[in-house]
Amino acid sequence: MKTKGSNLPNLLFTGGAGYYLWLSFLGAAVVAGALAYILQIRHGLIITGMRDPFPWGLYIANFTFLVGIAAAAVLVVIPSYLYHYQPLKEVCLIGEFLSASSIVMALLFVVIDLGRPDRFWHIIPGFGLLHFPQSAMAWDCLVLWGYLVLNLLLCGYILRCKYQSRQPSTALLMPLIYLSILWAISIHTVTAFIYSSLSSHPTWHQAIMMPRFLASAFSSGPAFLILILQIIGRCTRWPVEKKALHKLAEIMTIALFFNLFMLGAEILVETYAAAHHLTHRLYLLFGLQGHTALVAPTWLAIGAQVCALILLLFPKARQNLKLLNLCCTSIFVSIWFEKGIGLLALGFIPSSSGEIFEYHPTLAEITITAAIWAIGLLIFTLLVKLAVAVETGALQQAAHAQGEQPKSRESEQIGQEAKPLSG
Amino acid sequence: MLTRREFIKKSAQGASLLTLGSLISGCFSRGFFQNHLRRMSREEAKRTIQRLEDEYRHEFSRQVKVKDTPAQQDVLFGMAIDLSKCIGCRRCVWACTKENNQSRDPQITWIDVFEMKHGSSMELALDQGTRYYRREMVPAKGHFYLPVQCQQCQDPPCVKVCPVKATWKEPDGIIVIDYDWCIGCRYCLAACPYGARRYNWGRPTLPAEELNPNVHLLGNRPRSKGEVEKCTFCLHRTREGLYPVCVEVCPTGARKFGNLLDPKSVIRKILAEKNVFVLKPELNTKPRFYYYFS
């Protein structure tokens, strides 16, 4: 009698040609990144484009962005569990998976950004010396690890209940849900505080950073989720209702409005007063002393968000999947820039000693960054695969079938055939 | 009797145990598990110094003395620079680099000298000055010079943000770094309002013949890649009653240094008699690094 464990690898790594192609693509990206990382370990961070005046680059930019994506899972959890909105409840698990994978990516980005990863243990409470509560970074470590654990607990419990085809116990689930909602908001608030606590960078040192971080997370997160849910709906038998997408699109639109509103408020205050630190914003918007590397992306990011907002305000446009996907893609990419490199440049250019150092990521840095994304997507893919197997009963069947007749594996494969969105 | 399979299995196990054992002991001997300097017992500190001296002897083929002179009682160091006298010759920059064993390539300097136009404010901003001036002769007409290094703040933002307490303020007011504890996250570089901290982006290089063998555990001992460093007021000298090397080498006597707790010290005299100012006072970091025009 074999347990379900022995079927698991079979189930996870079985699929259509597209699935294998996707896995090998991710695998190749991970391998390339691992090689580049060996180079980084050997030569140090000098192989990146970062230098003293611009000490954080692509790694921390992606870290910041991904904490936002992780936090955005609450936008699925709140409507499903507090308002009992059924279409979203169906995809709640996917949201949680995205969140868990994003946290893993965020943590990996922090680790690869360290100049001395061999001393990582210094940060572990109990062994090392965590500077808690003074350092915002220490706070962030704690809340991120906490959120990851909480997320895995939640996902694990829901999955287990699904596997055993029983309803999750409210007494157990709801406290976890409430905690995860608060925690999700806290991870992004604390991440914003990493920047806004630094009085040395006046453009970061703003209370508006925290609400703005939430607003941008709550638009980029659903944008990503809307795209991913459609892919999952196409590739698997997971029930993804159109209604769920539309609810997410509504939430995204509201968050996007607040994000742009706060951006406008920031720019208005800075330009009207025209105090010395306006130079940081001027660098992004118009360039300084001939340094204009980020001018085009900045305007593109703002333009894309404004256009997306205008489009999304029309319910008809939101209903049109093609238009919706276009909006989601542009929101995702523009916020990735705005909250990543754009945010770092806003603080670091000009630097604390008044210098303009334009940061250009190197190929090695980009390869490592891509590899972390690949790891995250790999984890996400496998988690979804597992959940689909549980949801459609394939895993249960497999465990059952394996117990009686171990050879009938063909029947256990879960569907890879294209299936139109239901609902 | 062992079958062949069992023999292979057993020897593989033995080999892996051996590897693991040597890995762990290697970690210990290489300082992987080295404790935070402030958590060490006297014994541990002694062993650490011994290990460092051995390592340096191995690396530079020279005898290196690693000191751990503690802060003196009733001493609080401060520095003041007379901007009327500074001519921007950068002798302090190069003397500091030699004294404190900074990496030659990539080049690391702890002192920046900014060339500022007469009439510009003391703001460290690009339209006010540059640290990349190249002149045949200094001082250039219509300019003055502003040397900047670690301001030894009373409320240092870098210390506050460090996630692992790798940097702290000593009793004599000097901000130091436990280089072996630093994880290289560079949050302190982002937090420092004066751009005073330096990061070893690559492996620091220092020719053996240029090494200054008189080093301090918290100061000028050679660093490794991935670690942060900065000015320590030459604590290997100043804790023994000498001046920091930048003060000693200054040809115009623009730099003044002394004990802020000693009412008769030159630094106290300057504070009492001159209108001194500090950089970025609005951030309330309270530097112990003062500037004035005589």
Cβ–Cβ below 8 Å for A44 and B187: no
Rounded (10°) CA dihedral A186, A191, A197, A202? -130
Q: CB of A413 within 8 Å of any CB in chain B?
A: no
Q: What is the ipTM metric for this complex?
A: 0.90
Dist. CA A36–CA A326, nearest whole Å = 33
Mean pLDDT on B183-205: 97
Cβ–Cβ below 8 Å for A135 and B114: no
For residue A178, the number of C-alpha atoms closer than 13 Å in the C-beta half-sphere is 5
Burial B186-208 (b: 16+ CB within 10 A, else e): bbbbbbbbbbbbbbbbbebebee
Span of A408-417, B51-60, B96-105 with lowest mean pLDDT:
A408-417
Could you tell me which residue, B6 or A232, shows the higher pLDDT? Answer: A232
Cβ–Cβ below 8 Å for B190 and A201: yes
Cβ–Cβ pairs < 8 A, chains A and B = 148
Q: Which residue in B32, B195, B199 is closest to A353 by CB distance? A: B195
3 state SS of B199: strand
Task: Give pLDDT, residue A402.
Answer: 64
Residue A420 confidence class, pLDDT cut points 50, 70, 90 = very low
Pick the CATH number of B71-294 from 3.30.70.20, 3.10.129.10, 3.40.50.10860, 3.30.1300.30: 3.30.70.20
Dist. CA B199–CA B228, nearest whole Å = 4
| A244 pLDDT above the threshold of 60 | yes
Dist. CA A242–CA B178, nearest whole Å = 57
Dist. CA A22–CA B131, nearest whole Å = 50
> Which residues 78-117 of A are in CB contact (within 8 Å) with B?
110, 113-116
Could you tell me which residue, B151 or A397, shows the higher pLDDT? Answer: B151
Q: Which residue in B161, B200, B226 is closest to A137 by CB distance? A: B161
Task: Give pLDDT, residue B129.
Answer: 83
| B123 pLDDT above the threshold of 90 | no
| A3 pLDDT above the threshold of 90 | no
Residue A302 confidence class, pLDDT cut points 50, 70, 90 = very high
Residue A421 confidence class, pLDDT cut points 50, 70, 90 = very low
Confidence (pTM): 0.92
Mean pLDDT on A252-265: 97
Backbone phi and psi for residue B154, each to the nearest 5 degrees, phi listed first: -75, -30
Q: CB of A279 within 8 Å of any CB in chain B?
A: yes
Task: Give pLDDT, residue A404.
Answer: 52
Task: Give pLDDT, residue B125.
Answer: 67
Task: Give pLDDT, residue A6.
Answer: 56
| B220 pLDDT above the threshold of 50 | yes
- Pair B58, B268: CB distance under 8 Å: no
Q: Which residue in A115, A288, A352 is closest to B184 by CB distance? A: A115
Match 């808690």 to its residue by tokens.
Answer: A132
Q: CB of A349 within 8 Å of any CB in chain B?
A: no
Task: Give pLDDT, residue A399.
Answer: 76
Q: CB of A308 within 8 Å of any CB in chain B?
A: no
Mean pLDDT on A120-148: 92
Which residues from chain B sit within 8 angstroms of residue A347, using beta carbons?
A: 190
Q: If we measure between CA atoms, which residue out of B108, B218, B54 comes closest to residue A52?
A: B108
Which residues from chain B sit within 8 angstroms of residue A135, using beta carbons?
A: 160-163, 187
- Pair B252, B86: CB distance under 8 Å: yes
Cα radius of gyration (chain B): 23
Residues with Cβ within 8 Å of B21's Cβ and at least 6 positions away in sequence, in order, are none
- Strands B228-229 and B198-199 come out as antiparallel
Residue A2 confidence class, pLDDT cut points 50, 70, 90 = very low
Q: What percent of chain B has pLDDT over 90?
A: 81
Mean pLDDT on A21-35: 97
Residue A393 confidence class, pLDDT cut points 50, 70, 90 = confident
- Pair B67, B216: CB distance under 8 Å: yes
Which residues from chain A sit within 8 angstroms of residue B190, using beta carbons?
A: 55-56, 198, 200-201, 347-348
Angle at B272 between CA B266 and CA B277, to 5 degrees: 95
Cβ–Cβ below 8 Å for B32 and A138: no
Cβ–Cβ below 8 Å for B226 and A113: no
Could you tell me which residue, A22 or A277, shows the higher pLDDT? Answer: A22
Match 């404010």 to its residue by tokens.
Answer: B121
| A335 pLDDT above the threshold of 90 | yes
- Pair A3, A10: CB distance under 8 Å: no
Mean pLDDT on B116-141: 83
Nearest CA in chain A to B113: A353
Cβ–Cβ below 8 Å for A115 and B199: yes
| A26 pLDDT above the threshold of 70 | yes
Task: Give pLDDT, residue B11.
Answer: 78
Give the fold, CATH level 3, of A4-246+361-412: Formate dehydrogenase/DMSO reductase fold (1.20.1630)
> Which residues 50-69 of A are in CB contact (within 8 Å) with B?
50-53, 55-56
Task: Give pLDDT, residue B28.
Answer: 61
Mean pLDDT on A411-416: 40
| A161 pLDDT above the threshold of 70 | yes
DSSP B52: H
Which residues from chain A sit within 8 angstroms of residue B160, using beta carbons?
A: 134-135
C-beta neighbour count of A355 within 10 angstroms? 21
Rounded (10°) CA dihedral B162, B166, B172, B174? -70
Cβ–Cβ below 8 Å for B200 and A128: no
DSSP A51: B
Condensed to tens digits (0 to 9), the pLDDT of residues A107-118 reads 999 999 999 999
- Strands B228-229 and B65-67 come out as unpaired
Instruction: State the amino acid at position B55 in one-letter form.
Output: E
| A374 pLDDT above the threshold of 90 | yes
Task: Give pLDDT, residue A403.
Answer: 62
Cβ–Cβ below 8 Å for A134 and B166: no
Residues with Cβ within 8 Å of A315's Cβ and at least 6 positions away in sequence, in order, are none
| A47 pLDDT above the threshold of 90 | yes
Residue B126 confidence class, pLDDT cut points 50, 70, 90 = low
C-beta neighbour count of A98 within 10 angstroms? 26
Dist. CA A280–CA A316, nearest whole Å = 39
Q: Which residue in A200, A348, A353 is closest to B131 by CB distance? A: A353
Q: Which residue in A194, A199, A348 is closest to B157 by CB distance? A: A199
- Give chain A's mean pLDDT: 91
| B25 pLDDT above the threshold of 70 | no
Task: Give pLDDT, residue A407.
Answer: 42
Backbone phi and psi for residue B198, each to the nearest 5 degrees, phi listed first: -125, 145
Q: Which residue in A43, A123, A347 is closest to B163 by CB distance? A: A123
Mean pLDDT on A212-222: 97
Backbone phi and psi for residue B91, each to the nearest 5 degrees, phi listed first: -65, -35
Q: What percent of chain B has pLDDT over 70?
A: 95
Span of A81-90, A280-289, B258-267 with lowest mean pLDDT:
A81-90
Which residues from chain A sit within 8 angstroms of residue B225, using beta carbons?
A: 44, 46, 115
Could you tell me which residue, A231 or B25, shows the higher pLDDT? Answer: A231
Name beta bridge partners: B277: B291
- Give chain B's mean pLDDT: 92
Return the structure tokens found at A55: 């000490």
The DSSP string of A269-294 is HHHHHT-TTHHHHHHHHH-BTTB-TT
Q: If we measure between CA atoms, which residue out of A404, A410, A412, A409 comes closest to residue A385?
A: A412
Residue B30 confidence class, pLDDT cut points 50, 70, 90 = low
CA-based max dimension of chain B: 93
Residue B6 confidence class, pLDDT cut points 50, 70, 90 = confident
Dist. CA B217–CA A185, nearest whole Å = 43
Residue A39 confidence class, pLDDT cut points 50, 70, 90 = very high
Question: CA separation (Å) from B110 to A293, A329, B206?
Answer: 29, 45, 15
User: Where does residue B241 rank: exposed (0-12), middle (13-18), buried (19+ CB within 10 A)?
Assistant: exposed
Task: Give pLDDT, residue A12.
Answer: 85
Dist. CA A407–CA A414, nearest whole Å = 16
Which residues from chain B sit within 8 angstroms of residue A193, using beta carbons?
A: none
Task: Give pLDDT, residue A202.
Answer: 94
Condensed to tens digits (0 to 9), the pLDDT of residues A182-211 reads 999 999 999 999 999 999 999 999 999 999
Residue A13 confidence class, pLDDT cut points 50, 70, 90 = confident
Q: Where are the domains of chain A?
A: 4-246+361-412
Nearest CA in chain B to A355: B126
Dist. CA B76–CA B97, nearest whole Å = 24
Residue B127 confidence class, pLDDT cut points 50, 70, 90 = low
Cβ–Cβ below 8 Å for B160 and A135: yes
Residue B21 confidence class, pLDDT cut points 50, 70, 90 = confident
